[in-house]
Amino acid sequence: MSLNALEMKDVSFSYNHQQVLEDINFTIEENDFVAIIGPNGGGKSTLLKIVLGLLTPDKGEVKVFGREPKKALDLVGYLPQHTHFDLDFPIDVFETVLMGRYHGMFKNYTSEDREIALQALKDVDMERYKDRQISRLSGGQMQRVLIARALAREPKLLLMDEPMASIDPEMQNSFYQLISHLKDRMALVLVSHDVGTVSMHVDKIACLNQKLYYHGPAEEAGEGLEEIYHCSIEHISHGIPHRVLRKH
Amino acid sequence: MFEFIQYDFMQRAFIAAILVSVACGAVGTYVVIKKIVSMSGAISHAAFGGVGLGYLLGVNPVVAAIPFSIVAALSMGAVQEKVKISEDTAIGILWSVGMALGIIFVNLKSGYAPDLFSYLFGSILTVSNTDLYIMLVLDLIILMVVFLFRREFMGVSFDEEFSKVVGLPSTLINMLLLALIALSVVVLIKVVGIILLIALLAIPAAICKQYTYDIHKLMISSTIIGAILTSLGLILAFIFNLSSGATIILVLGAALFISYFIHE
């Protein structure tokens, strides 16, 4: 019997006395490709941070491959929103990816670490940029580098926070192509407020706005619309093609 | 023209210029790339509390400033972690509370504090052999810590959140970096003084950062540029009979200005 990549049972989290997540029950199986969709402020990033062990829930149980989140860090890759980076930072592409191989104080990166980092760069087709300083990358290239950094960890669960937010629309297809290749190696979780394009690519959708409203196959998301409506549809559908959403 | 090099005090001053540059190259680089210049300014001003305590207890003020500024730096780090107070506010408070403490400590010690000004504005020409030994030891500690924790410092400076996600003890590393800044402050006190030293810590790295994206080259070039500019300031101060700390800072400021235009 294989372990689920992620199990959340009755997880609640509040911040400054404000309920952010309420009684979340959520399971991700190995090699699932799940999108968590919801409005900004609906708790998507908070959920990711709980899975990463950066935040501790007020109540409920979180298991990542059967372990406490903090004890499962070596199995989890993370692609943050990269808007917060100082691109002028003195670091090149290879060093950035190598950080994914960090395994403790006083431990040098081994030649194996370097090979894995290089392979991760090959996986995202960025090998030829390995010595380039990060400010000289385009948004899409930078994102590939950050994916490589997450892959260098050799994760079994890859968490991606709003990966669409920072790249051009024409880059989005190549992004999906890239990560669809990863599906047989790991479970993928993608967080987005953009329901339109996401639903065409993922297997399952979860709809989150403080509570988890719908969780199931992407193609049935349309039928689950009545439930999804609860999650403040004006926010999620505003200004994007209504591919999933029928008239409302 | 170069007869000044014969004087013992000038030789010590040049050695001091090299010793401060090592701290500037190693720690100043992190201060600049992690964008914690104001926080370092607060730590340096808080070190005045240590200087005052030294006067009060009758120990070498520079020595007293070592534990004092480390405690100040760590409390700064702790405040950021635990208390809901903005970093900006905490910096301002530490800045003046540390200085106020120093003034009160000096008050409590009856009598005149003759060389207080040298700690505030620096006096590289009065650096003693003891001062040089202290600076040397602190430099060695700084270099060792930077070498041992270079991956961690890089990690928390570039992307703290990701560092945590790969299991890097970011709180501990941030604290360690603040402690290193405190040690650098102590190295720099005698040369440019508490009030001016933040410019000496930050400017060499700020100049070199325009020309390299390699952190090792950045550290080494900052050290060299720092030594050259500090020595130049020292010579100008001697020739024109100006306050050494202020002259050094102005030379650094002018160099930053010029380097900016060369780079453009």
Token digits of residue B184: 């650098």
Q: Is A149 on the interface with B (CB under 8 A)?
A: yes
Amino acid A17: pLDDT: 87
Closest CA to B230 of B25, B14, B32: B14
Domain ranges within chain B, ordered by starting residue? 3-263
Cα within 13 Å of Cα(B238), Cβ side? 20
With beta carbons under 8 A apart, name residues in chain B contacting A145: none
With beta carbons under 8 A apart, name residues in chain B contacting A89: 33, 157-158
Q: Please, what CATH class does the domain formed by A1-76+161-174+193-248 belong to?
A: alpha beta
In this structure, are residues B52 and B102 in contact, taking their beta carbons and an 8 Å threshold? yes
In this structure, are residues A12 and A23 in contact, taking their beta carbons and an 8 Å threshold? yes
In this structure, are residues B121 and B245 in contact, taking their beta carbons and an 8 Å threshold? yes
- β pairing state of A18-28 and A204-209: unpaired
Tell if the CB–CB gap between B149 and A105 is shorter than 8 Å: yes
Structure confidence by residue, pLDDT tens digits, A71-126: 999 999 999 886 677 888 999 999 999 999 998 899 999 999 999 999 999 999 99
Closest CA to B65 of B45, B83, B82: B45
pLDDT at A68 over 80: yes
Rounded to an integer, the average pLDDT of A188-213 is 83
Tell if the CB–CB gap between B148 and A106 is shorter than 8 Å: yes
Q: Please, what CATH class does the domain formed by B3-263 belong to?
A: mainly alpha
Which residues of chain B fall below pLDDT 70? 1-2
Amino acid B241: pLDDT: 94
A188/A77 Cα distance (integer angstroms): 9
Comparison of pLDDT for A170 and B149, the residue scoring more:
B149
Amino acid A230: pLDDT: 52
Q: Is A15 on the interface with B (CB under 8 A)?
A: no
What ipTM does this complex have? 0.86
Size of interface A-B (CB pairs under 8 A): 69
Q: Rounded to 5 degrees, what angle do the CA atoms A14, A17, A18 make?
A: 60
Confidence of residue A232 (pLDDT cuts 50, 70, 90): very low
Comparison of pLDDT for A176 and A242, the residue scoring more:
A176
Amino acid A81: pLDDT: 82
For residue A240, give the 3-state DSSP assignment: coil
With beta carbons under 8 A apart, name residues in chain B contacting A102: 151, 155, 163, 166-168
Q: What percent of chain A has pLDDT over 70?
A: 84
Structure confidence by residue, pLDDT tens digits, A17-57: 889 999 999 899 988 999 998 888 888 989 999 999 999 99
In this structure, are residues B233 and B248 in contact, taking their beta carbons and an 8 Å threshold? yes
Tell if the CB–CB gap between B158 and A91 is shorter than 8 Å: yes
Domain ranges within chain A, ordered by starting residue? 1-76+161-174+193-248, 82-155
